[in-house]
Amino acid sequence: MDKTSNKMKITLNSHRESIDRLDAVLVYTLAERFKHTQEVGKLKAKNALEPSDPEREAKQVKRLLRLSKDAGLDEAFAKKFLSFVISEVIRHHESLQQ
């Protein structure tokens, strides 16, 4: 391996180590988030509320797009990510009501 590609490999590995650490933060944060959405799902099922709450979801989308902008996160990605997480949560809430 030449000097350039060795240096490149060290830099690449350093980024990958950071990505792995951040992925652990994401997984544990998502698990904590799901604990709360599960409780919300149970509350909704118990009180015969709709699994989906368009007003709450619209507020979440607006707030998260603002946060994403502040954090420098790509807006298109933020939107896709959010709709992915919300749809998974609704799917879970629906399954509680069946």
Does 32 engage in binding with a copy of itself (CB under 8 A)? Answer: yes
For a copy of itself, which residue of 34, 52, 57, 94 counts as binding (CB under 8 A)? 34
Instruction: Look at residue 64 and give its three-state secondary structure.
Output: helix
Q: Cα separation of 27 and 18, whole Å?
A: 14
How many degrees, rounded to 5, is the angle at CA 78 between CA 76 and CA 81? 110
Closest of 84, 94, 80 to residue 40, by C-alpha:
94
For a copy of itself, which residue of 6, 30, 62, 95 counts as binding (CB under 8 A)? 30
By residue count, the chain amounts to 98
Q: How far is the CB of 9 from a copy of itself (least distance, A)?
A: 9
Does 2 engage in binding with a copy of itself (CB under 8 A)? Answer: no
Does 20 engage in binding with a copy of itself (CB under 8 A)? Answer: yes
User: Are 6 and 61 contacting, i.e. CB atoms less than 8 angstroms apart?
Assistant: no
Binding mask 47-76 for a copy of itself (x = CB under 8 A): x--------x---x--xx--xx--xxxx--
**Residue 48 to residues 14, 22, 39, 59, 88: CA-CA distances in angstroms?**
50, 38, 14, 22, 20
Q: Where do contacts with a copy of itself occur on this chain (CB under 8 A)? A: 5, 8, 11-12, 15-16, 18-20, 22-37, 39-40, 43, 47, 56, 60, 63-64, 67-68, 71-74, 77-78, 80-81, 84, 88
